[in-house]
Amino acid sequence: MRDLQKFYIDGQWLDPIGLKSLAVINPATETPIATIRLGNKDDVDAAVTAARKAFDDFSQTSIDDRIALLEKIITAYKNHSNALAEAITSEMGAPDQFARKAQVGAGLGHFLVALKLLKNYKFEDVIGTTRVVKEPIGVCALITPWNWPLNQIACKVAPALAAGCTMVLKPSEIAPLSAHIFAQIMHEAGVPAGVFNLIDGDGVGVGTALTHHPEVDMVSFTGSTRAGTLVSQAAAETVKRVALELGGKSANILLHDADFEKAVSRGVKGVMSNSGQSCNALTRMLVPVDKLDEVIEIARRTAGSVIVGAPNDAATVMGPVVSDVQWHKIQTLINKGIDEGAQLVCGGPGKPEGLETGYYVKPTIFAQVTNDMTIAREEVFGPVLSIISYTNEDEAIAIANDSPYGLSGGVWSEDLNRARSVAARLRTGMVHLNGAANDSRAPFGGYKQSGIGREWGAYGLEEFLETKALFGYEIV
């Protein structure tokens, strides 16, 4: 059992003011692995005060100073990569190799992108006699989830530092181990006291206090759409800037001329990756009605190759989901799919055979799904794929857009121009053409109830900047 009952505030590990503690559970074993304290409003005040005090100096640091700081953080991050991977595996069940390459690698990638960006980004411009400058927005509250803990921490912290902001991080109380190691990395890299602060807590005790706090200038939140709505409401009282990265129910459109073996197998594996716990997972697969039987067979075969098991087993492809609460939510939605008449292709309710301990879910695929079914409307956030058939291209686009979400999407076609044309009609923030991977230099974010603003690359940096016009600054 790790004792993580301290907060990182003003460059020191301090005893929290809040008295309530919480056990962190390993989802593979269902046993406690650490204890944290849950902060309260007084802890939030202490952390925000430290960030506000540090802002005056840090916001005035030179670009070269911030470049040097990011370089030190990158070095320290690499030195702790093994510990970070082990923490992620134990706190949220990611298979060992996936934790090392994808989870830890994603966090490092955002710092590398921020470093390169900072060396070339244009913070000032001239319009006639007016100089336009981009300045750090101020004290930022960063509220991050458990499903990609380091990715979401780094894609907020790295650009916030590059911009010259100070911050208070509230990681998920379900998976806080990697965040505590991250705080140690920041300390070892020499981040000035008060620039980065970490406090644990739940949404009610800490999240709400941060979003209401009058000395917080911006809230960057990743989580559910329901929680994001509450963040927006609370932040509106003091007119804070809000960046929200929320839920998704993304459609993967396989056009009639797609390579179905490749597209279906890649699509199934993508949904099962990270145990289905990715907001941008392409969980609705849209296929031509005359290809449905072929798609079902490929999908069933692919799902059967996904090895579910203990995260530390080298053969494991898919570990458990993060918690008992999450497991039961997924089971409820799987049963809902059956009750509403969808065809269960594989998987289904209950745990995989031989994995009675741990929050394991069977890789589950439904076919004959219609877009009004619950499993086509709601974000399952588990390894569950819905296959929906369509009769023509226009219908496929209409089905894809018929969602309150608009985070991601996919289009598969041997004709790239055709894929581009369909992508242009999708009301979503991102589209993957023929399985193209994410690019951490490009914007990440969505339309509609999938969020506000963008993360990653220059677009993510600009969320942390204010724009000032200095009229008459230049002499003509």
Which residue in 12, 77, 5, 57 sits closest to 34, CA to CA? 5
What is the average pLDDT score of the chain? 98
- pLDDT for 130 equals 98
Specify if 321 maps to a domain.
yes
CA distance 317 to 94: 9
Does residue 124 sit in the same domain as residue 231? yes
Tens digit of each residue's pLDDT (9 = 90 or more) over 123-177: 999 999 999 999 999 999 999 999 999 999 999 999 999 999 999 999 999 999 9
Residues 197, 337, single domain; the answer is no
Same domain (yes/no): 168, 259: no
> Per the structure, how many domains does the chain have?
2
Q: Which of 86, 173, 245, 379 is catalytic?
A: 245
Residue 91 among the catalytic residues = no
Give me the CATH number covering residue 363.
Answer: 3.40.309.10
178 plus 88 within the same structural domain? yes
- Report the pLDDT averaged over residues 108-119: 98
Q: Is residue 445 part of a domain?
A: no
Residue 415 lies in a domain: yes
Here the CATH number for the domain that contains residue 81 is 3.40.605.10
Local confidence band at 476 (pLDDT 50, 70, 90 cut-offs): confident
Same domain, 268 and 162: no
Q: What is the pLDDT of residues 204-245, one digit of tens each?
A: 999 999 999 999 999 999 999 999 999 999 999 999 999 999
Which residue segment(s) compose the domain that 376 sits in?
Answer: 251-439
Same domain, 292 and 386: yes
Do 339 and 454 lie in one domain? The reply is no
* Shared domain check, 271 and 236: no
Q: Are residues 230 and 275 in the same domain?
A: no
Nearest-angstrom CA–CA distance, 196 and 386 = 42
Does 444 reside within a domain?
no
38 and 180 fall within a common domain: yes
Q: What is the pTM of this model?
A: 0.97
CB-CB contact of 461 with 453 (8 Å): no
Chain mean position to CA 443: 13
